[in-house]
Amino acid sequence: MRIRSRAYRVGEGDSVRLKKWPTKVDPVYRTKEEYQHLLEDHQARLRSLQDRLFASSRYAVLLIFQAMDAAGKDGAIKHVMSGLNPQGSRVYSFKHPTPEETSHDFLWRTTRDLPERGHIGIFNRSYYEEVLIVRVHPEILAAEGVPDLAIHDPAIWQDRYRSITDLERHLYANGTRIVKFFLHLSKEEQRKRFLDRIDVPEKNWKINAADVQERKFWKAYQTAYEECLEATTTTLAPWYVVPSDDKENARLIISQVLLDTLEGLKLAYPKTSPARRKELAAMRRQLVR
């Protein structure tokens, strides 16, 4: 069964109300064995496409993952990307910014880690944190050293959206294809996963008191995500809202979106010119001798 990835894509100009987007859909697999088979098939196809991406060195691919805590970003990155060649892919996780990072503009720390052509870059959180958690917690904005007038101006978020979409248009024009995933988790499923992290000793390290406290801001986060998705999804750099109450199904959706993106690039190995073939023939004769 082929996953219709466009069903999860936010169209440019769409109005987004996350209550209308499901956090769980009918799975595309019937058993755990079938899930594993589908995932392995996706991984094998991704490896082949990545090899051509690297060899042709015409495009870069940037994958951005955003979500509420416990939505499964780490697991999705681990399982979907596990078959990729580490020489041509790299994961960056962005935590609380350092003093050096806050002394620059809000896009500075992430743009340093953009993938080069032929590579896949994966951002586990990203510059979008600057219009999500920073919006929910304005005290973070105040600590960033931006001008006082900007801190109190509601237009700062529209300015930041514009900065982001301008950056993404620039990257697209220079060969970087950007795909953005919002892993859409229900509040009840998050509660269950937090309890699991508390009750299973091997998972205790995954949770802290701040994670639970952030649940108080659930509604504010949903509003911030809705406005962000509306303002920054574009034809060139679309957002996908991935139902994430079912981790396995979410991984299959994400891998299908990535497959569709790479296949759409019409990747091919570089063609060998007549001059190059002559050079290879000479090298072959030398090796045979």
Instruction: Please name each of the domains of the chain with its CATH number.
Output: 5-288 (3.40.50.300)
pLDDT at 149: 65
Strand 239-243 to strand 9-10: parallel, antiparallel, or no bridges (unpaired)?
Answer: antiparallel
Residue stretches of the chain with pLDDT short of 50: none
Strands lying side by side in the sheet with 89-93: 9-10, 239-243, 176-184, 60-67, 120-124, 89-93
Which pLDDT score, from 0 to 100, does residue 1 have? 60
Regarding beta strands 239-243 and 89-93, do their DSSP bridges make them parallel or antiparallel, or are they unpaired? unpaired
Burial label, 34 (beta-carbon count in 10 A; 0-12, 13-18, 19+): middle
H runs (alpha helix) in the chain: 32-56, 73-81, 99-102, 108-111, 133-136, 138-142, 148-151, 155-173, 187-199, 209-213, 218-232, 247-263, 274-288
